[in-house]
Amino acid sequence: RSFAIRLPTPPQMDNRGNYIVSLGNLCRWLGREAESLGVEIFPGFAAAEVLYDDAGAVVGVATGAKGIGRDGKPTANFQPGVELRGRYTFFAEGCRGSLGETLIERFGLRTESDPQTYGIGLKELWEVEPAKHRPGLVVHTVGWPLDAQTYGGSFLYHLENNQVAVGFVVGLDYRNPYLSPFDEFQRFKTHPAIRPTFAGARRVAYGARALNEGGVQSIPKLVFPGGALIGCSAGFLNVPKIKGSHTAMKSGMLAAEAAWGAIREGKRATALAAYPVALRRSWVWDELRLARNVRPAFRFGLWGGIAYSALDTYLLRGRAPWTFRHHPDHAQLEPAQNFRPIAYPKPDGKVSFDKLSSVFLSGTNHEENQPCHLVLKDPAIALSVNLARYDGPESRYCPAGVYEYVEAGGSRRLQINAPNCVHCKTCDIKDPTQNIVWKTPEGGGGPNYPNM
């Protein structure tokens, strides 16, 4: 709370020689490059459904219809979805992809791997005073304000143009239902070692997104008839590095090479066996295999995790003859009666803020008149389990204030403010009974992250 100790930089976090860029801007540039090569890109259309042939092989995706009203009926703006068919379809929806999860279930892709585990990453972009800007500086922290049993940490990246990206990751295997990742992040910025960077600065953007933390032991089977999982849909994030764009790109390249080989042989809708083979032979697999025990070691607490990570990195060099296993995050939440509510400080409006003003900065926009994309399998469970047993944890883990328990006629009910959703997928992951299902909203809706 009041001091900071500088630790030696672990090799995974050594960023010398790297560039700090906005991934959103990089993707926009890559998109233009791809289009100039003849690739067709359809922004504004979400893939809402997987298409299968009679033999059960994947043959493409269908985009969702536009112009369906809140009541589920077509409005005057109705446009039916379109089918996009291909000989092979790659799913690159990022962490906890909706279609990817249905494929994992349908084809039993996770029968030989651990459950995926996740963290929620919150991020803000700031314009700081020129005197405080040190282009290229990267700072990572662990510890405060999280308790020693909760995995997480922060990053500060000094980009160009006096911009600093600050972010905070909280492992979603946390146990205390009173924990609010958003408020931990806001509190983090008030630490005396961090606050000065943001004094007199202006916050310009906010976002949140889940990230995979399972590592190599949580990677499912990658292929099925007609398609493959690539990037964070499969779970290639290197957790100690908090980096996954390099592995995502490489996995896409290897899958593309496998598909090209199959197409040249005249195949269609087969399982691309060459892709997982190439991936296991690539640096992606080596990198993830060597890092596999670092994240799960934090089950021994902050200091146990740091001690094990040092041993694993410097002495064992990732070659320990054992692999720590994972458990699903939603099963880790404990009843509220085991904890006391956490009293988070009120936002000061200078370095710490509330959720609603933050959502405003995420540029989130959804067509208001559409069916709610956050579906409760059984609406009664919100009160009978989530509120009764866990004191409504979704109102705290959602970083956008989507879930609110409100008083109505002397009783409480769960109100879902779906238009605020920043598509982080945390509710789909952390809901204790997996009662919340995140469905693809109408295409084009969601956050808009310039320079993030």
Q: Rule CB under 6 A: which residues touch ligand FAD?
A: 23, 46-47, 92-94, 97-99, 121, 123, 167, 209, 211, 231-233, 237, 242-246, 248, 440
H or E element, residue 263: helix 245-264
* Residue 320 binds: one of ligand FAD, ligand SF4, none (C-beta under 5 to 8 A by kind): none
Helix (H, G, I), strand (E, B) or coil at 306: helix
Q: How far is the CB of 165 from ligand SF4 (least distance, A)?
A: 19
Sign of the CA dihedral running 306, 323, 292, 102: negative
Residue 211's binding partner among ligand FAD, ligand SF4, none (Cβ under 5 to 8 angstroms by kind) is ligand FAD
By a kind-dependent CB cut-off of 5 to 8 A, residue 164 interacts, out of ligand FAD, ligand SF4, none, with none
Task: Compute the least distance from the CB of residue 152 to ligand FAD, in Å.
Answer: 11
Site size for ligand SF4 (CB under 6 A): 13
What would the two tokens of residue 161 be? 């143009």
Pick one of ligand SF4, ligand FAD, none as the site partner of residue 123 (Cβ within 5 to 8 A by kind). ligand FAD
Site string for ligand SF4, 343-382 (x = CB under 6 A): -------------------------------x--------
| Identity of the residue, 403 or 438, whose beta carbon is nearer to ligand FAD in the bound complex | 438
Q: The tokens of 431 are what?
A: 């809901």
- Whole-angstrom Cα distance, residue 451 to residue 24? 6
How many other CB atoms sit within 10 Å of the CB of residue 121? Answer: 23
Rounded least distance, CB 177 to ligand FAD, Å: 22
| Angstrom distance (rounded) from CA 441 to CA 147 | 36
Q: Exactly one of 438, 441, 446, 449 binds ligand SF4 (CB under 6 A); which one?
A: 438
The rounded distance, in Å, linking the Cα atoms of 164 and 451 is: 11
Q: From the list ligand FAD, ligand SF4, none, which binds 421 (C-beta under 5 to 8 Å, kind-based)? A: ligand SF4
Binder of ligand SF4 out of 46, 205, 422, 452 (CB under 6 A):
422
Tokens 């990817």 — which residue? 100
Cβ atoms of 324 and 296 within 8 Å: the answer is: yes
Residue 158, H or E segment: strand 152-158
| Contact yes or no for 314/102 (Cβ under 8 A) | no
- Judged by beta carbon, residue 28 or residue 73, the one nearer ligand FAD is 28
Of 189 and 243, CB closest to ligand FAD:
243
DSSP states of 169-219? EEETT---TT--HHHHHHHHTTSTTTHHHHTT-EEEEEEEEEEE--GGGG-
* Partner that binds at residue 279, options ligand SF4, ligand FAD, none, CB closer than 5 to 8 Å by kind: none
In the list 234, 288, 302, 421, the residue contacting ligand SF4 (rule: CB under 6 A) is 421
- What part of residues 385-404 is at the interface with ligand SF4 (CB under 6 A)? 398-400, 402
Q: Residue 226's binding partner, choosing from ligand SF4, ligand FAD, none, with beta-carbon cut-off 5 to 8 A by kind?
A: none
How far is Cα 310 from Cα 327, in angstroms, rounded to an integer?
A: 23
Residue 424 engages ligand SF4 in binding (rule: CB under 6 A): yes
Nearer to ligand FAD, 122 or 271 (CB): 122
How far apart CA 394 and CA 129 sit, in angstroms, is 36
Dig out the tokens for 184 from the structure.
């931990």
Q: Please, which residues have CB within 8 angstroms of residue 51's CB and are 6 or more apart in sequence?
A: 58, 59, 60, 61, 62, 83, 85
Nearer to ligand SF4, 188 or 438 (CB): 438
Segment near ligand SF4 (CB under 6 A), from 43-51, 227-235, 337-345, 424-432? 424-432
Beta carbon nearer to ligand SF4, 132 or 439: 439
Closest contact distance (angstroms) between CB of 414 and ligand SF4 is: 12
Q: Which residue has the tokens 């003849």?
A: 38
Q: Does 211 bind ligand SF4 (CB under 6 A)?
A: no
Q: Which does 402 bind (CB under 5 to 8 A by kind): ligand SF4, ligand FAD, none?
A: ligand SF4
**What strand order describes the sheet that includes 223-224?**
89-91, 227-229, 223-224
Burial 86-99 (b: 16+ CB within 10 A, else e): bbbbbbbbbbbbbb
Q: Which amino acid is at 209?
A: R
**Residue ranges binding ligand SF4 (CB under 6 A):** 374, 398-400, 402, 421-427, 438
